[in-house]
Amino acid sequence: MKFTYLLGALFFLVIWLAFFGLFPKERKVIFWSSIAWGPAGPISEYWHRADYWRPDLIFAVHLGNWTFGLEDYLFAFAFGGICTGIFELIIRIIWQPEDLRFNLNSFIKLLSMVLFSLMLMGLLSWVFHLNSLPAISISFILLAGYIFYRRSILLLPGLITALLMMFFMWLFYWTFFLRLYPDIIERWWISNALSGLALASVPIEELFWAASAGLFIGPAVRYSLLTLPRA
């Protein structure tokens, strides 16, 4: 079962490639979002493997209490780009923006937001003794709220992106991953990290995380990289 996690990550990478190939106007932001979010996968495993899940890895890297693998990077890389691609498609339908600015300082701003979201997750876990998954979900929601406060024009497409990412995550589990591996939740997830609530066998925690990630990751790239009118 060493290839199970890799297969799941490759599922998202195929979707990423489809977005990148089919929507040339969104390629720039999809690419830079993925570059920024890729490292967040391995970094976040420092917390997630301690209290949320322990997936099998083809080749595990161990640095003290921190364990991660290539699969973590591939998933975060693809998921970040997908969130951004969906958001960009939606915002072009609602409001047809022009790409006005992109530079190194903007990308550093995006990286800072990625790193701050992880730091906030760690702080919430430490101060309030939260499990790492609700901690990162709350971190995403708080940062998304900041973005919407600064750029309210991003709120509606952000909410739509959140709902679509939640639905997409449910489809991934229900139509693909749980069909191939019906017992994967019992084998990988730490039992006391889950509430027991599920939608057609998909843990509600996974859906909540996907929605919060879409809410933040989608608009984060446009907020960081592109100039917008205030609204």
Cα-based distances in Å from 19 to 85, 115, 161, 172: 7, 25, 15, 16
Mean pLDDT to the nearest integer, 157-179: 97
- Look at residue 224 in the predicted model and tell me its pLDDT: 86
Lookup: tokens for 221: 């790239």
Closest by CA to 203, choosing from 121, 127, 131, 123, is: 131
Give yes or no for a contact between 190 and 51, defined as CB atoms under 8 angstroms apart: yes
- Look at residue 192 in the predicted model and tell me its pLDDT: 94
Mean pLDDT to the nearest integer, 177-198: 96
The verdict on pTM exceeding 0.85 is yes
pLDDT at 128 over 80: yes
Mean residue pLDDT of the chain comes to 93
For residue 24, what are the contacts with CB-CB under 8 A and spacing of at least 6?
none
Q: Cα separation of 44 and 118, whole Å?
A: 7
Mean pLDDT to the nearest integer, 205-209: 98
Mean pLDDT to the nearest integer, 80-99: 87
pLDDT at 1 over 80: no
- Look at residue 97 in the predicted model and tell me its pLDDT: 65
| AA identity, residue 211 | A
